[in-house]
């Protein structure tokens, strides 16, 4: 059989399935992503960058649904199961808040927005160090 044709009778053909569920399984999905990339020797910072990257749909969905603090806790939990220690920088619990706080105190919201956007643009790199392209959708 030619490679381009799909055979429904082939038991070794890869098939995707959607399973209906009332439960929110994004945490388990995120846990699987963390463990998979950890086992491929990604660091905890590289894995968090994957979750921040909108091109990785599954991890980014989990980040949007549960928030960055929850994802950081999940990464630390999975690493701890494998005997690896994770330490997050103290100053960056929410990197966008830190960029906005000085200008919000002065009341200039446009400057706060532009400071946050400048930090997002400069921090948009993938786990391998390449810049993430900015897409206008």
Q: What is the pLDDT of residues 2-38, one digit of tens each?
A: 567 777 788 887 777 777 888 888 999 999 999 999 9
Asked if residue 66 and residue 35 are part of one domain, the reply reads yes
Does 67 score more than 80 pLDDT?
yes
Task: Report which DSSP code applies to 34.
Answer: H
Question: What ranges in the chain are assigned the alpha helix state H?
Answer: 26-39, 44-52, 57-66, 68-81, 95-106, 109-122
Asked if residue 95 and residue 63 are part of one domain, the reply reads no
Please name the residue that has the structure tokens 């070794």: 12
Q: Which domain holds residue 63?
A: 25-88
16 within a domain of the structure (yes/no): no
3 within a domain of the structure (yes/no): no
30 within a domain of the structure (yes/no): yes
Asked if residue 120 and residue 100 are part of one domain, the reply reads yes
The pLDDT score that the predictor gives to residue 102 is: 36
pTM value surpassing 0.85: no
Contacts for 13 with CB less than 8 Å, ≥ 6 apart: 6, 7
Percentage of the chain with pLDDT > 90? 42
Residue 59 three-state SS: helix
Number of domains the chain contains: 2
Percentage of the chain with pLDDT > 70? 64
């Amino acid at each position: 059989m030619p490679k381009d044709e799909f055979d429904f009778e082939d038991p070794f053909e890869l098939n995707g399935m959607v399973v209906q569920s009332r439960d929110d399984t994004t945490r388990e999905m995120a846990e699987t992503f963390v463990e998979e990339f950890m086992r491929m020797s990604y660091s905890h910072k590289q894995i968090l960058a994957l979750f921040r990257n909108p091109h990785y749909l599954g991890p980014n969905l989990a980040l949007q649904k549960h928030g960055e603090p929850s994802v950081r806790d999940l990464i630390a939990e999975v690493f701890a199961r494998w005997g690896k220690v994770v330490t997050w920088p103290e100053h960056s619990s929410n990197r966008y808040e830190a960029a906005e706080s000085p200008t919000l105190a002065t009341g200039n919201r446009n400057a706060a927005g532009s400071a946050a956007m400048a930090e997002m643009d400069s921090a948009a790199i993938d786990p391998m160090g390449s810049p993430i392209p900015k897409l206008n959708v």
